[in-house]
């Protein structure tokens, strides 16, 4: 348990930041899931629209350093590749 005033404050801040980051990570997963569901349904326009909405969300979460920027870039790239491949099917 924290003993000093500054350590107690740091513990409070860590809890607050953990909750904020959990919410951000949840939003990331939700936006990715929407794109994947649209891909699974076979509707390319819906998938492209979902990807367009998900991209800035993923970028913002990487900017806040909740996920690594390269991990976020990889997610966007893979989703875009899957959406792009839908037209050739």
40 touches 89 (CB < 8 A): no
| CATH number of the domain within which 69 lies | 1.20.58.110
Q: Is the pLDDT of residue 89 over 80?
A: no
Q: What is the pLDDT of residues 19-59, one digit of tens each?
A: 999 999 999 999 999 999 999 999 999 999 999 999 999 99
- The count of domains in the chain is 1
* E strand or H helix that includes residue 89: none
Query: Which range marks the domain in which residue 57 is found?
Result: 5-88
Matching residue, tokens 């924290």: 2
């Amino acid at each position: 348990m924290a003993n000093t005033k500054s350590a107690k404050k740091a513990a409070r801040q860590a809890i607050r930041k953990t909750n904020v980051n959990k919410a951000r990570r949840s939003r990331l997963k939700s936006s990715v899931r929407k794109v994947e569901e649209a891909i699974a349904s076979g509707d390319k326009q819906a998938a492209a629209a979902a990807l367009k909405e998900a991209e800035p969300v993923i970028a913002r979460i990487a900017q806040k350093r909740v996920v690594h920027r390269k991990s976020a870039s990889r997610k966007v790239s893979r989703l875009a590749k899957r959406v792009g491949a839908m037209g050739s099917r």
